[in-house]
């Protein structure tokens, strides 16, 4: 009797949660298409988990077989090519929608109270996504996989005293070997589930306060409408639009975002002439490479990423929405262009003047967060926001 009752309670609990999240949830009626990207992120997370799970049924995490097992998926397994291309291009679309989701947060000040914890969980998710994507890129065991793993894991040698030991511990030996591939595979399998749990928490916390809106006016003073049917339809329409570039990539240009060197089996004796990461790492890679000192470069790169955590404390203005602040709005778009340009620089051979321009862009990125945002927000708080 007891298990039956508890199961019934569990079903009832799940049903009431789903009902309150997907049907009843009071949503500001004026949210724009930029509020679609949370749902789209969740969609691509689901795609990655499902397609990744199917790929694991054919993949062999061994240095002698990994490359061939991927070729087997592509050539012999029924629709194996489709599953693989959905997964590899799905990662790109996932990053694209999450980048827009983050930029929406930056523009409208979604990081501020009372959504600070939503923002923090988001930043943790973003960092975990980067880790997961890097680990996944190593698995096909092509030249780019192997050398990307070599470059990235070698970063830990900048840790004073124990750096070298840490590297051998991560490798599970004195070079990248079978143990390395195995642990990367295990982590690549488990991390998406950690991201999924964090995403649920992200949503749970958001639902405690409710979504913000493009006007930046406190939502209780706005008209709110139920999530179903209005935003279910709107989210599905957004999905339909995003499925167009996704299908174009998967069916017509599946290798456009990849690198041809990854169709050569990993060879520790031959370094590729030009090691480049996937496009979504390029801005950070651009920052790293523009600084010749390895330790300083790494510090600047990590600070450029982790500064997202400090944003709720750096922006002191009462009104964080940039729609009403012409100077901050222009600077925001300049920051976005600068970030994209860093991505371009990251894809180029590091020679003169790429490194020099990169240095300027990298420092502007930091300046934006640690000087322009705090100073301008303080000026706004004192002279502008009070009057509104
Ligand atoms: C797996 C990745 C993610 C998923 C599935 C996800 C999901 C969602 C969903 C469904 C919403 C509500 C709809 C919307 O506002 O778009 C939302 C809101 C939000 N997300 Fe995410 N998110 C993810 C990553 C991130 C990241 C990386 C950040 C920031 C660094 C972030 C910050 C926020 C914020 C601040 C809100 C509240 C927006 C507002 O109402 O102003 N999220 N997220």
Residue 346: count of CB within 10 angstroms of its CB = 23
Counting atoms of ligand 1 from 1, which one is nearest the CA of 198?
A: 1
DSSP symbol at 226: E
Question: Which residue in this structure is represented by tokens 């399998």?
Answer: 189
Domains and CATH numbers, the chain: 21-271 (1.20.810.10), 276-388 (1.10.287.980)
Cβ(202) to ligand 1 under 6 A?
yes
Atom number of ligand 1 nearest to Cα 210: 40
Residue 131 CA to residue 126 CA, distance in Å, equals 9
SS3 (DSSP) at 27: strand
Residue 37 makes CB contacts below 8 A (sequence gap 6+) with 97, 98, 100, 101, 104, 238
The ranges of the chain with pLDDT < 50 are none
CB of residue 250 inside a 6 A radius of ligand 1: no
Catalytic residue among 110, 112, 199, 211: 211
pLDDT of 111 reads 96
Q: What is the structure's pLDDT at 213?
A: 93
| Ligand 1 atom having least distance to the Cα of 36 | 16
Active-site residue, 255 included: no
Distance CA 9, CA 17 (A): 12
DSSP string covering 171-202, please? HTSSSS-HHHHHHHHHHHHHHHHHHHHHHHHH
In sign, the C-alpha dihedral spanning 221, 227, 229, 235 is positive
For residues 245 and 159, what is the distance between their CA atoms, to the nearest angstrom?
42
Closest residue to atom 29 of ligand 1, CA basis? 122
Mapping DSSP to helix (H, G, I), strand (E, B) and coil, where does residue 12 land? helix
Q: Give pLDDT, residue 386.
A: 65
Residue 349 burial (CB count, 10 A)? 9
- Tell me if 219 CB under 6 Å of ligand 1: no
143-153 vs 163-171: helix crossing angle, rounded to 10: 150
Give the integer Cα–Cα distance in Å for 29 and 37.
17
Residues 48 and 90: beta-carbon distance below 8 Å: yes
| Distance of CA 101 from the midpoint of ligand 1 (Å) | 6
Q: Specify the ligand 1 atom closest to the Cα of 111.
A: 35
Q: How far is the CA of 206 from the centre of ligand 1 (A)?
A: 8
Backbone torsion region of residue 222, taken as left when φ is above 0, otherwise alpha when ψ lies between -120 and 50, otherwise beta = beta
Distances in Å between the alpha carbon of 95 and those of 116, 126, 132, 186? 22, 9, 12, 22
Hey, how many other C-beta atoms are within 10 angstroms of the C-beta on 154? 15
Question: Going by C-beta distance under 8 Å and a sequence separation of 6 or more, which residues neighbour residue 99?
Answer: 280
Residue 28: which H helix or E strand, with range?
strand 26-28
Q: How far apart are CA 348 and CA 216, in angstroms?
A: 40
Span 171-216, pLDDT tens digits: 999 999 999 999 999 999 999 999 999 999 999 999 999 999 999 8
Model pTM? 0.95
211 is catalytic: yes
For ligand 1, whether the C-beta of 279 sits within 6 Å is no
Cα of 160 to ligand 1 centre, how many Å? 36
Question: Which of 278, 365, 377, 380 is an active site residue?
Answer: 278
Ligand 1 center to 48 CA (angstroms): 18
Pick from 91, 96, 118 the residue to mutate for probing ligand 1's pocket: most ligand atoms within 8 Å of its CB.
118
Say what the pLDDT of residue 219 is. Answer: 65
pLDDT computed for residue 284 by the predictor: 97
CA distance 41 to 102: 11
């Amino acid at each position: 009797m007891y298990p039956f009752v508890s199961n019934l309670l569990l079903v009832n609990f799940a049903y009431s949660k789903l009902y309150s999240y997907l049907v009843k949830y009071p949503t500001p009626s004026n949210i724009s298409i930029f509020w679609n990207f949370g749902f789209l992120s969740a969609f691509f997370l689901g795609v990655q988990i499902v397609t990744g799970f199917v790929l694991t049924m054919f993949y062999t995490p061994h240095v002698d077989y990994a490359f061939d097992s991927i070729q087997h998926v592509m050539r012999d397994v029924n629709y194996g090519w489709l599953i693989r291309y959905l997964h590899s291009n799905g990662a790109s679309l996932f990053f694209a929608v999450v980048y827009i989701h983050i930029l929406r947060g930056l523009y409208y000040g979604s990081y501020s109270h009372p959504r600070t914890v939503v923002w923090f969980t988001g930043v943790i998710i973003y960092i975990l996504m980067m880790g997961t994507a890097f680990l996944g890129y190593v698995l096909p065991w092509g030249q780019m996989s192997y050398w990307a793993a070599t470059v990235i894991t070698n970063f830990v040698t900048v840790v004073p005293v124990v750096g070298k030991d840490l590297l051998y511990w991560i490798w599970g030996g004195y070079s990248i070997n079978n143990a390395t591939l195995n642990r990367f595979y295990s982590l690549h399998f488990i991390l998406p589930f950690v991201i999924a749990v964090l995403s649920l928490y992200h949503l749970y916390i958001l639902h405690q306060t409710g979504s913000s809106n493009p006007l930046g006016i406190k939502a209780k003073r706005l008209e709110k409408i139920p999530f179903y049917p209005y935003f279910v339809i709107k989210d599905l329409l957004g999905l339909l639009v995003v499925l167009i570039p996704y299908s174009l990539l998967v069916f017509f240009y599946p290798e456009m975002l990849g690198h041809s060197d990854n169709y050569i089996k990993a060879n520790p004796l031959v370094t590729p002439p030009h090691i480049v990461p996937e496009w979504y790492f390029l801005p950070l890679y651009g920052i790293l490479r523009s600084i010749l000192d390895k330790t300083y470069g790494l510090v600047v790169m990590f600070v450029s990423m982790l500064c997202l955590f400090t944003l709720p404390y750096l922006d002191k203005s009462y009104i964080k929405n940039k729609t009403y602040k012409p100077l901050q709005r222009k600077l925001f778009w300049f920051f976005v262009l600068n970030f994209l340009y860093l991505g371009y620089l990251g894809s180029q051979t590091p020679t003169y003047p790429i490194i020099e321009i990169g240095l300027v862009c990298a420092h502007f990125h930091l300046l934006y967060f640690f000087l322009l945002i705090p100073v301008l927000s303080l000026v706004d708080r004192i002279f502008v926001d009070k009057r509104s």
